[in-house]
Amino acid sequence: MKIAVMPGDGIGPEITAQAVKVLEALKTDGLQVEFEHALIGGAAYRATGVPLPESTVALAQASDAVLFGAVGDFSLDTLPRHLRPEQAILGIRKALNLFANFRPAMVYSELADASTLRPEVVAGLDILIVRELTGDIYFGTPRGHRIAEDGPFKGEREAFDTMRYAETEIRRIAHVAFQAARKRGGKLCSVDKANVLETTQFWRDVVTEVGKEYADVELSHMYVDNCAMQLLKNPKQFDVIVTGNLFGDILSDEASMLTGSIGMLPSASLNESNFGLYEPIHGSAPDIAGKDLANPMATVLSAAMMLRYTFGLEEYASRIEKAVQTVLASGPRTGDIWREGKERTGTSGMGDAIVAAL
Amino acid sequence: MKIAVMPGDGIGPEITAQAVKVLEALKTDGLQVEFEHALIGGAAYRATGVPLPESTVALAQASDAVLFGAVGDFSLDTLPRHLRPEQAILGIRKALNLFANFRPAMVYSELADASTLRPEVVAGLDILIVRELTGDIYFGTPRGHRIAEDGPFKGEREAFDTMRYAETEIRRIAHVAFQAARKRGGKLCSVDKANVLETTQFWRDVVTEVGKEYADVELSHMYVDNCAMQLLKNPKQFDVIVTGNLFGDILSDEASMLTGSIGMLPSASLNESNFGLYEPIHGSAPDIAGKDLANPMATVLSAAMMLRYTFGLEEYASRIEKAVQTVLASGPRTGDIWREGKERTGTSGMGDAIVAAL
Ligand SMILES: CC(C)[C@H](C(=O)O)[C@@H](O)C(=O)O
Ligand SMILES: CC(C)[C@H](C(=O)O)[C@@H](O)C(=O)O
């Protein structure tokens, strides 16, 4: 099995190196993987002039899965939009048709005090956000600038974007979400703004229709503004949340911050055939890059998700997850999750500790 | 001064009645106001067949300000969208050109324990969200259903909406926000998704340009997903937040839930000439309607905002606010904010207590 490794920017190289280290360690126990590296994001722009070189897309297409670090580099923020590092992540999602984004937000009992929420509100939290990732206003056309043709601002400059969803796009992500809910708590909450937006009324209608095939899953609908409140008021009311690309971007970040430790949260982005890109949900953290300070656990847990979702290797996946739990319980910790009484370590030391716990 | 009172649905009539009671009480001290009532929302639909009768808009236009309760009635959710109660609020905002929505999120020290966040994270919180209210994807055209003309879903049904902002729209809300920041902590954070959306890159550019006229205000920019996180991680970093209609809908609800007591939060929606519609940020709460259970404080505080923003009567406004504080400190409370050791009262009793404290 061939894994394309795309470290990206900032702390990306350090954290992906630890995940590779963990996967390498499992090789001695029979895991068959090989790695090939490619540039992406700011790193690719600096080397090749574009954030997503064709060779990087080609490598992904010739691989079975992608292990992704992070992209983003403030010093490139003044480039024209199509050259900025973030465009690489949008481009690769689209090129590989990674329409289903899984973002779990769970609170480890050892880290319940990391949240800014009261412990009783978040202890034991375990939500899965399923975000549609290749449609919506992220990719809809037309978009750009124009002179307003009518209305009160006729004749002046305006900018615009198009939110849109076709029926198949909604249908396939709904199936993915219902199936995920079936394997978990059996509850699915679909989030939209159907009281205002045509696109999301259509979303609600199609999700409701697909729901008829999943009588065992309890489906509910919620407006996005209310969901942003309910995640704070009572986050444990949720099991699986499914929503579009834009609302998913906002709500999944909010949900991950409920846990207080975004250095712990992995994610998966899949296409129809379970090919996937796996990445930590946190960013490239340029301020601590190259200093052996970053927490690699989210990336290591992303590698575990890869073994489970793309390769169907449940056993190896849960070995990694248990090793992470062991280190959390009794091992050293990086600064972001360090507590009085715990040994302090760096990115690489954390990788070693996880390998030792395997 | 003539105030149009629009109670709306659910608890709307009870809570607006308390605000009217408080304003009436100030008449004996020289406040000159008269009231006229009009139907809106589900109440208007039931009586006239439309949620926003022309006579209601006409009354607003003939008045100096609107005191609004709440709209929303689940039993009408199956009506075609243009007849649903919520359309009344969108319609009246647009008809009266109420482009500037002020939504404060503040934590009263007496209620700091109401939040699901740790007390030290929210104690003393005082954020103002300035939301643009008459543009964006809420009103952009074209919108609707069509058959996809190209792309991978060519030939199938899709729904779409248009996000858009003209330069003047951004410019005027930016001025409002900078001026508000100048009167408060001197910090303004503009929230967008400039890394993905053309509309919001334009938003960022125009806000930056307007900012040159406000050298005394510290302007920053933040992506909406990050803002949804930062509101949880460290909400006190914010003073004034300005954003578009859609992001404002989501973020202002998230911010209000930080306080834990949305029964306390007022709002104002203003046009260019300080004509305003004033309403509590909470909804119509049909489950407790007509039971004398609702907390009228948000509506009473909305009336105080009206005296301040539209009528420039700072003295009366702060008298109302102090009366609310007094009742919070030593008076009876409605169920939503009731605590051991406090006297319990109903909607009307709370109104009386505020009047007594004036
Ligand atoms: C970097 C950005 C384009 C991206 C997004 O908005 O999807 C990021 O926020 C994410 O959630 O992966
Ligand atoms: C009722 C709805 C249309 C409205 C909005 O989305 O603006 C509400 O959520 C609000 O924030 O006032």
3-class state of residue B167 by DSSP: helix
pLDDT in tens, A125-155: 999 999 999 999 999 999 999 998 888 899 9
* Best mutation target, B113, B125, B158, B234, to test chain A (most A CBs within 10 A): B158
CA separation for the pair A92, A142 (Å, rounded): 21
B138 and A233 in contact by Cβ < 8 A? Answer: no
Q: Whose CA is nearest to atom 8 of ligand 1?
A: A249
| Residue whose structure tokens are 């209305």 | A151
In the chain, the amino acid numbered A119 is P
Q: What angle do CA A237, B224, B163 make, to 5 degrees?
A: 105
State the ligand closest to the CA atom of A193: 2
Whether residue B225 lies in the annotated active site: yes
Q: Is A42 annotated as contributing to ligand binding?
A: no
In the predicted model, what is the mean pLDDT of residues A9-20?
98
Residue B34's H or E segment, with its range, is strand B34-37
A228 and B228 in contact by Cβ < 8 A? Answer: yes
Count of Cβ atoms closer than 10 Å to residue B218 Cβ:
14
Per DSSP, what are the bridge partners of residue B243? B131, B191
CA separation for the pair B315, B238 (Å, rounded): 27
CA separation for the pair A57, A40 (Å, rounded): 9
pLDDT of residue B186: 98
Mean pLDDT of chain A: 96
Contacts of A253 in chain B (CB under 8 A): 225-226, 228-229
| Closest to B259 measured CA to CA, from B287, B282, B292 | B282
| Residue whose structure tokens are 């919506």 | A136
Q: Does residue B120 belong to the interface with chain A, where contact is any CB pair within 8 Å?
A: no
3-class state of residue A275 by DSSP: coil
Torsion of CA A129, A194, B198, B159, to 10 degrees: 100
A159 and B196 in contact by Cβ < 8 A? Answer: no
Counting Cβ atoms within 10 Å, is residue B302 exposed (0-12), middle (13-18) or buried (19+)? Answer: buried
Per DSSP, what are the bridge partners of residue A161? B163
In the chain, the amino acid numbered A256 is S
Q: With a cut of 90, say whether residue A45 has pLDDT above it.
A: yes
Contacts of B147 in chain A (CB under 8 A): none
Mean pLDDT of chain B: 96
Residue A43's H or E segment, with its range, is helix A42-48
A1-98+273-358 CATH, one of 3.40.718.10, 3.40.640.10, 3.30.365.10, 3.40.50.800: 3.40.718.10
Torsion of CA B173, B179, B180, B182, to 10 degrees: 150
Share of chain A above pLDDT 70, in %: 100
CA separation for the pair B358, B353 (Å, rounded): 9
- The answer to whether the beta carbons of residues A241 and A127 sit under 8 Å apart is yes
Please name the member of A121, A159, A251 whose beta carbon is closest to the beta carbon of B165. Answer: A159
pLDDT of residue A77: 82
pLDDT of residue A152: 85
- The answer to whether the beta carbons of residues B69 and B15 sit under 8 Å apart is yes
| Closest to B200 measured CA to CA, from A196, A251, A81, A132 | A81
pLDDT of residue A328: 95
**DSSP-derived secondary structure letter, B306:** H
Q: Integer distance in angstroms from the first to the last C-alpha of chain B?
A: 21
Q: pLDDT digit of tens for each residue in chain B (358 aa)?
A: 999 999 999 999 999 999 999 999 999 999 999 999 999 999 999 999 999 999 999 999 999 999 999 998 888 888 888 899 989 999 999 999 999 999 999 999 889 889 999 999 999 999 999 999 999 999 999 999 999 888 889 999 999 999 999 999 999 999 999 999 999 999 999 999 999 999 999 999 999 999 999 999 999 999 999 999 999 999 999 999 999 999 999 999 999 999 988 999 999 999 999 999 999 999 999 999 999 999 999 999 999 999 999 999 999 999 999 999 999 999 999 999 999 999 999 999 999 999 999 9
Q: Does residue B145 belong to the interface with chain A, where contact is any CB pair within 8 Å?
A: yes
pLDDT of residue A81: 84
Q: Integer distance in angstroms from the first to the last C-alpha of chain A?
A: 21
pLDDT of residue B78: 85
In the chain, the amino acid numbered B225 is D
In the chain, the amino acid numbered B136 is D
Nearest chain B alpha carbon to A193: B246
Sign of CA dihedral B100, B106, B111, B116: positive
pLDDT of residue A78: 85
CA B161 to ligand 1 centroid distance, Å = 21
Q: In what order do the strands lie in the sheet with B144-147?
A: A144-147, A157-166, B157-166, B144-147
pLDDT of residue B77: 82
pLDDT of residue A216: 98
Q: Does residue A153 belong to the interface with chain B, where contact is any CB pair within 8 Å?
A: yes
**DSSP-derived secondary structure letter, B107:** -
**b vs e for A190-228, b when ≥16 Cβ sit within 10 Å of the residue's Cβ?**
bbbbbbbbbbbbbbbebbeebbeebeebebebbbbbbbb
Residue pairs between chains A and B whose CB atoms are closer than 8 Å: 179
CA separation for the pair B294, B272 (Å, rounded): 33
3-class state of residue A170 by DSSP: helix
| Closest to B51 measured CA to CA, from B20, B36, B19, B73 | B73
CATH 3.40.718.10 residue spans of chain B: 1-98+271-358, 102-264
Q: Whose CA is nearest to atom 5 of ligand 1?
A: A249
For domain A99-270, the CATH class is alpha beta
Ligand 1 neighbour A132 (Cβ under 6 A): no
Share of chain A above pLDDT 90, in %: 92
pLDDT of residue B112: 86
B90 and A156 in contact by Cβ < 8 A? Answer: no
Contacts of A199 in chain B (CB under 8 A): 159-161
Contacts of B261 in chain A (CB under 8 A): none
User: Quick one: residue A156, left, alpha or beta (phi over 0 = left, psi -120 to 50 = alpha)?
Assistant: beta
Q: Whose CA is nearest to atom 11 of ligand 1?
A: A249
pLDDT of residue B70: 96
Instruction: Evaluate the omega torsion of the peptide bond into residue A7 and state whether it is cis, within 30 degrees of 0.
Output: no
Ligand 1 neighbour B229 (Cβ under 6 A): no
Whether residue B253 lies in the annotated active site: yes
CA separation for the pair B264, B256 (Å, rounded): 9
For a mutational test of ligand 2's pocket, the pick from A225, A226, A227, A247, i.e. the residue with the most ligand atoms closer than 8 A to its C-beta, is: A225
Question: Which ligand 2 atom is nearest residue B90's CA?
Answer: 3
pLDDT in tens, B266-279: 999 999 999 999 99
The answer regarding whether domain B1-98+271-358 maps to CATH 3.40.718.10 reads yes
In angstroms, the Cα distances linking B168 to A98, B202, B245, B277 are: 38, 12, 15, 22
The answer regarding whether domain B102-264 maps to CATH 3.30.950.10 reads no
Which residues, including other chains, have CB under 8 Å from residue A127's CB and lie 6 or more apart?
A104, A105, A106, A235, A238, A239, A240, A241, A255
Interface of B with A in 263-302 (CB under 8 A): none
pLDDT of residue A288: 96
Q: Does the pTM exceed 0.85? A: yes
Size of chain A in residues? 358
CATH 3.40.718.10 residue spans of chain A: 1-98+273-358, 99-270
- The answer to whether the beta carbons of residues A154 and A183 sit under 8 Å apart is no
B148 and A160 in contact by Cβ < 8 A? Answer: no
**DSSP-derived secondary structure letter, B201:** H
Contacts of A228 in chain B (CB under 8 A): 228, 250-251, 253-254, 257
**b vs e for B112-144, b when ≥16 Cβ sit within 10 Å of the residue's Cβ?**
bebbbbeeebbeebebbbbbbbbbbbbbbeebe
In the chain, the amino acid numbered A211 is G
| Closest to B348 measured CA to CA, from B283, B299, B307 | B299
CA separation for the pair B274, B268 (Å, rounded): 10
CA separation for the pair A102, A240 (Å, rounded): 10
3-class state of residue A253 by DSSP: helix
Which sequence positions of A are flagged as catalytic? Answer: 138, 193, 225, 249, 253
Backbone angles phi, psi at A324, to 5 degrees: -65, -45
